[in-house]
Amino acid sequence: MDISNEEKTSYVRAWAKNKEKEARYANELNPELLFGGIVYCISGFGDDWQGLADLLYDELLDKKQYAGKPYFCDSSAFEIGCYFYTNIDMWLFNNKPEMREKLSLYISKRFIDLFSEALPIENVHELFVERIEKYGELFRNDEDAEKILFYLTELIKRTKYDTPPKRADFDNFKLSIDGGLSDGIALKTNLMTFLAYILPATIEIVENYVSVKEEKKSIKDILKGIGCLVLVFGIIIGIISFLTYLQG
C-alpha cells in the first residue's frame, strides 16, 4: 500500500526525515539531534511500515482500509507528541532530575515552534500546555492506563485527515462516534501497537542521549538511537507478532 501522497502533506514527517539524514553526518552531540530523533518517532504513526498495513485490514467488519492511514498527518502527530513529551518529562524527573529542567524546556520549546509552523492554528502553545497538564494530572493520580488511553485515542480521533487540534473540555469529555464504532476500535488497536513499541524506543533515545552526555562517548553511540533505523527490524517483528495474536 502506497501512502507516499499522504507523507508529502506531512510537514513534520518531512522535517524529521531531513533531520535523520543530517544526523548521519553530525560531528557534535546536541539537544537538536535528540529532538529530531523524538520527532522522527512520533511522526511515524499511521505510516505503513514495510507493507504491514495489509495486516491491519479488518475483514470481520469488511473494512478494507488501513486503519492508521487517515492519521498519518501533522495534527495526529501533535497529539501523540504531547503524550510522548509527558512520558519523557516523567522519565527525566524520575531518573535524571538534574538534567530535566534544561532538557525538557528545550524539547517543549522546539516542539511548540515546529508545530506552530506545521499546523494552521495560532494556539499551539496553549493546546500543548493543556494536554501535558492533563496527562500529568492523570499520571500523578495513578489513573489506570485504560483511562489515559481513552483520552489519547479520542484526541487523535478528532484529528482524522489532519483536522487541526482544538481545546478539549476534559471535564465533559465524551466518546466520539464520528466514523463509527469500527473505526474507533481500529484506531485504538493501531495506537496500542504504536505505543507498545515506539514509546519505549523513544524513551531509549533519551536515555542514550543522557548516557552519552554523562559518559562522553562517541557521537556514533547516540546516533544509533536518534536515527531510529536500528530499531525498525525489531519493531516490525514485534508488530507482526502482536497483530497475528490479535487476529488469531
pLDDT digits (tens, 9 = 90+) for 84-132: 999 999 999 999 999 999 999 999 999 999 999 999 999 999 999 999 9
Q: Rounded to two decimals, what is the model's pTM? A: 0.80
User: 10 and 39 in contact (C-beta within 8 Å)?
Assistant: no
pLDDT (tens digit per residue) in 63-88: 444 455 788 899 999 999 999 999 99
Q: Where are the domains of the chain?
A: 4-247
Question: Nearest Cα to 131, choosing from 176, 166, 179, 182?
Answer: 166
The sign of the dihedral angle between the CA atoms of 179, 197, 59, 66 is positive
Residue 153 CB-density burial (10 A; 0-12 exposed, 13-18 middle, 19+ buried): buried
Q: 67-81, 91-105, 146-160, 226-240: lowest mean pLDDT where?
A: 226-240
Grid cell for residue 112: 511548540
